[in-house]
Structure 1
Amino acid sequence: MVLKFLLLPLAVLLLALSLLTAVRVPVAVNWRLAVLAGEYGYLLAVLPLGLAASIWWSRQSAAWPWALAGWLVCAVAIGLLLKPVVEAALLGQALPARLKTAFGPARIEQPVFSLDRLFFRRPPVASVTTHEYAPALQLDLRRPAAGAGPAPVVIVIHGGGWDGGDRNEVAGFNDWLVTQGWAVAAIDYRLAPGHPWPAQREDVQAAIAWLKDNGDELGLDTNRLVLFGRSAGGQIAAAVGYGTRDPAIRGVIAFYAPFDMEFAWSVSREDDALNSLNLMRQFLGGPPDDPRREVYRSASAQELVQAGRTPPTLLLHGSLDTLVWRRHSERLAARLAEAAVPHAFVELPWAVHAFEYNPHGPGGQLTTFACSWFLARLRGD
C-alpha cells in the first residue's frame, strides 16, 4: 500500500519536475519550478535516489511490478535532473573557441565548467555605496579594491517587465563582477505604466552622465562602460547601447531579452505567463501602429544596429524560455553578423528565464565564464 499509494506518486511528481529540463514550461506552470529543476537539479537528484532506496526497502513479492515501475520513474527523473550538468559540460568544451573567434583571445583563470564549483559558495560581498544620480533615482556602486587604478564600469539595468524590479536584483552577480576588476553601478529607473519609453533610456543616459561627472572622485574609468541587463533590462541596455552612439560604451551584455519590439508584439498573447501584450501597452503606449512606429523602433536594438558603430555584444538565452522567446537573441545575433559586429550568442539547451540565478549551477558557470571572457577582452587583458 505504501509503495502504490505514496512512494510511486512521489516518484511521478519528481519525474514531472525533472521534465522541465527537457520541455518548455506550459503557461500554467510557474517558470520558477523550471529554474529549480534546471539549475539546482543536481542537488535535487538525491530525492529520487532516496525514493528508489525507499521503494527497495518497502517492496513485497506481490508488488514487484509497482516496484519496477517506481525504480524506472526514479531513474528517468535522476537522468533528467542531471541532464543540465552533462549538457553544460559538453557545451563548455566548445565555448572558449567560440568566444575567441567572436572577441579574440583572453586570459581566464576560472574553468569553463567544473563539478567542484557546483557546490562552492558565493564570492565575497563587495562594499556598496548608494548615490542619487537623478531626482528620486539611485544607484548602488561597487568598486574593486583600491590600487589597480581607475576601474571600468558595468552599468546593471534590472529586469521586471518594465513595471517592476529594482537595483538589488541578483546582487551576488554584481559582487562577482567586482572580482573581475570592474566597478558595478546597479541603477533604478522609472517604471511603466507611469513612465513609458523613452523614460528608461533617459534614465540610463542620466546615470552615464552622473558617472562621468563623478568618475574621477570615485576612481572610475568612465571611458570604458558596459551596459548589462536581464530580460526587460537587457532590452533597455541594448537599445541604449546601440542608439546612444557614445564611444564610452564599449560593450553590451544581455540575458534573455527582447530586441525587436514589433516582433515581440506579434508573438505575444494575452494569456501567456506575463500577459505580455499588457506589459507592452504599458511600456510603449499601445500596439505598433503608425502613431507609435518610431517609439517601437527606438526601443528595438534590432533596428539600431549599424556596422562600425554598434558595440561588441554578448547574448545568452535559454532554449526553453517561455517568458522571452530565444528567437529574440537568435534574430539579433543574425543581424549583428550581417553588420560584422563582434558578438557571441550562447544558447543553453536546458535553460529557461533566470538561468544564472544559481551562480554555481550549470547555467551560472557558463554565464560567468562567458562574461569573464568578454569583460577581459574589453579591459585589454
Structure 2
Amino acid sequence: MALFVLSTLVLVLAYAASFTLRPAPLWSWVWKVALAVGEYGVWFLPLAVGLGGIALVSTDGAWRVGLVTLCAFATIALLRPLASAWRNGARLETDLAAAFGAGARPPMRPFSLARLVFHGGAAVAPVETHVFSRGGGEELKLDFYRARGTTPAGAPCLVVVHGGGWDGGERTQIPAWNHRWASRGYAVAAITYRLAPRFVWPAQRDDVLAALAWLKAHARELGLDAGRFVLLGRSAGGQIATAVAYGARDPAIRGVISFYAPQDMEFAWGVSREDDALNSIKLMRQYLGGPPDTPERRQLYASASAQAMIGPATPPTLLLHGAPDTLVWHRHSERLAAALAAVGARHFFLSLPWATHAFDFNPDGPGGQLADYAIETFLRATTGAPIP
C-alpha cells in the first residue's frame, strides 16, 4: 500500500512538472496544472526532493531506480521556469532599453529568487467603485485605485480590461497587480464591459471608450492626468484593449499592454477548433455574430483586429505571451509583433518559453516578475512617470 501511494504521488508530480517542458493537452483543466507548476513551482520542489529521498531509502531494485529517476526529472522540470526566467531577465534590461530608451529603466531587478518566496506586494488601498455608463440598459462599473503620491499635474492612469472569453470574467481579476501599480504612482481603473452573446462587437469597444470619456471628465476629482492613459488587457481583454487603442487614434492613449490575446480575428477564426479547451468557434460566433463569410462580417472582424489597424498613429505596444499557451496560440502575438516591426512601430514582445495562459496570476512567479519589470519600464517610457 505504501509503495502504491508513493509511486502514485511520484507519477502525478512528474506528469504535472512535464508541462514546464511541453504544451499541456487541450483539456479544460490541465492548463491550470501547467500554470501551477510553472508559476508556483518553487513550492513543489521540496515535494519532489522529499519523495525522491523516501524512494531512495524505502525501495530497492527497479522500483528505486524508476521512482528516483522520475523525482529527478520532476525536480529538473520544476527548476526550468526559474532558470529560464533568470536567463531572460539577464537580457531583458538591455532589450527593453533598446525598445524604449535607457532612461525608462526602473530601479528593480527583472527577476529575483528571493521574491518567489517573500513576494513583492504592495499595501492594499481602498477601492472606489463608480458607474461610468448605462449603455444598452447595462449599468457598467469601474473599480478605481488612486495613485499614491500624485502631483498637481495628476497621475497617469492604467485602464484594465478583464479577460474571460468575451462572455465572462470580472473587473476584480488579479487585484494585487492594481494595488501594486497604484502604490507606484499610477492610477488604475479596472472596468466592466458588456458581454457576449447578448452584446456583440463593437459594444465592448464602445464601453472602453465610454470609460475613457468618464475618466477624462472626472480627472480632476480622481487626481488623473487626462492626457496620459495606458490600456491593459488580458486574453479577450487584450484583444479589446489593442483594438481600441489602435482604432481610437486618441493621443491621450499613450500605449497599450496586451497579455496572451488574439490580435487578428479572421486569422483567429481560421485556426480555432470546436474541440479546444475554450470551444473557440463558439466564443467567436457569440462575440462577432458568426464567421467572416460576408463582406460586412469581414469588416466587423477587421474592426476588432489590432493587426488590421496598424498605422502611423499606432501607440507603443507591449505584448506578453507564453510560448506553450494552449488556450490562445502564441502565434497571435508573434504575428502582431512582426507587423509592428515591419512599419517601425515602437513595441516589445516578451515571449516566455515555459509560461502558459494567465501566467501573471502570480505577480511574483517567474513570469509575473518579468512581466512586472517589462510593464514598469513601458509605463515609465510612455507616461514619463517614475516610481515615486
State TM-score, norm by structure 1: 0.97
Q: Which residue of 116, 137, 140 corresponds with 1:137?
A: 140
What is the CA–CA distance in structure 1 between the aligned matches of 2:148 and 2:208, rounded to whole Å?
26
Counterpart Cα distance in 2 of 1:206 and 1:367: 28
- Find the aligned partners of 1:206 and 1:223 in 2 and give their Cα distance: 16
1:162 aligns with 2:187: no
Which residue of structure 2 lines up, in the alignment, with residue 190 of structure 1?
A: 194
Match of 2:39 in 1: 39
- Contact 1:131–1:140 (8 Å) recurs in 2: yes
Match of residue 50 from structure 1: 50
The alpha-carbon deviation at position 148 of structure 1 amounts to 2.7
Match of 2:208 in 1: 204
Question: How many equivalent pairs are there?
Answer: 376
CA displacement at 1:147 relative to structure 2: 4.6
Q: Distance in 1 between matches of 2:265 and 2:81?
A: 31
SS where residue 40 of structure 2 aligns?
A: helix
Q: Equivalent residue of 1:141, what SS?
A: strand
Identity across aligned pairs (percent)?
53
More displaced 10-residue stretch of structure 1: 172-181 or 313-322: 172-181
Partner amino acid, structure 2, of 1:94: R
Answer yes or no: is the 8 Å Cα contact 1:158–1:166 preserved in 2: yes
> Do the aligned partners of 2:318 and 2:378 also contact (CA within 8 Å) in 1?
yes
Which amino acid letter does the alignment assign opposite residue 302 of structure 2? R
> What amino acid does structure 1 have at the position aligned with 2:305?
S
CA shift, 1:110, in A, is 1.4
Q: CA deviation at 1:41?
A: 0.9
State the partner residue of 2:231: 227
Q: Displacement, 1:248?
A: 0.3
1:302 is the counterpart of 2:301: no
After superposing on structure 2, the runs of 4+ consecutive aligned residues of structure 1 that deviate more than 2 Å are 145-149
CA drift of 1:259 comes to 0.2
1:96-120 deviation per Cα after TM superposition (whole angstroms, max 9, x unaligned): 1111111112231111111111112
Structure 2: how far apart are the matches of 1:80 and 1:207? 43
Contact 2:232–2:238 under 8 Å retained in 1? yes
User: Which deviations, in whole Å up to 9, do the C-alpha atoms of 1:253-299 show, x marking residues without a partner?
Assistant: 00000000000000000000000000000000000111301110000
In structure 1, distance between residues paired with 2:214 and 2:231: 15
Q: Which residue identity is paired with 1:137?
A: L
Are residue 241 (structure 1) and residue 242 (structure 2) matched?
no
Separation in 1, partners of 2:86, 2:306: 31
- Residue 324 (str. 1) matches residue 328 (str. 2): yes
Per-residue CA distance 1:151-207 (angstroms, 9 max, x = gap): 110000000000000110111111111123110000000000000000000000000
1:67 aligns with 2:64: yes
> Does the Cα contact within 8 Å between 1:88 and 1:366 map onto a contact in 2?
yes
CA contact (8 A) 2:205 2:240 kept: yes
| Cα distance in 2 for residues equivalent to 1:146 and 1:326 | 38
Structure 2, gaps ≥5 residues long? none
Query: In the alignment, which residue of structure 2 is the partner of 1:27?
Result: 26
Answering whether residue 108 of structure 2 is matched by residue 104 of structure 1, we say no
114, 117, 126: which one aligns with 2:115: 117
User: Match of 2:261?
Assistant: 257
For the residues of structure 1 that align with 2:324 and 2:115, how far apart are their CA atoms? Answer: 24
Establish whether residue 7 from structure 1 lines up as the match of residue 23 from structure 2: no
CA distance in 2, matches of 1:245, 1:358: 33
Partner SS for 1:356: helix
CA RMSD of aligned residues (A): 1.1
Question: How far has the Cα of 1:95 moved from its partner?
Answer: 0.6
Determine the structure 1 residue equivalent to 2:87: 90
| 1:258 and 1:328 in contact (8 A); partners too | yes
TM superposition shift of 1:64: 2.2
Distance across 1 between alignment mates of 2:80 and 2:176: 25
Structure 1: distance between partners of 2:338 and 2:82: 28
Is residue 15–residue 73 contact of structure 1 (8 Å, CA) maintained in 2? yes
Look up the SS of the partner of 1:55 in the other structure: helix
- The Cα offsets for residues 114-151 of structure 1, whole Å up to 9 and x where unpaired, read as 11111124321122111100010000111122453311
The residue matched to 2:36 in structure 1 has which SS? Answer: helix
> Aligned to 1:215, which of 207, 216, 219?
219
Any conservation in 2 of the 1:142–1:183 contact (CA below 8 Å)?
A: yes
Partners of 2:184 and 2:324 in 1: how far apart? 29
CA distance in 2, matches of 1:146, 1:363: 28
Counterpart-to-counterpart distance in 2, 1:147 and 1:26: 47
Q: What letter matches 2:41 in structure 1?
A: G
Structure 1 CA distance for aligned equivalents of residues 126 and 378 of structure 2: 24
- Alignment correspondent of 1:376: 380
Normalising to structure 2: TM-score of the pair? 0.95
SS of the aligned residue for 2:249 comes to: coil
SS in structure 2 opposite 1:334?
A: helix
The answer (yes or no) to whether the contact 1:280–1:286 under 8 Å persists in 2 is yes
Q: Secondary structure at the match of 1:278?
A: helix
Aligned equivalent of 1:277, options 268, 275, 281? 281
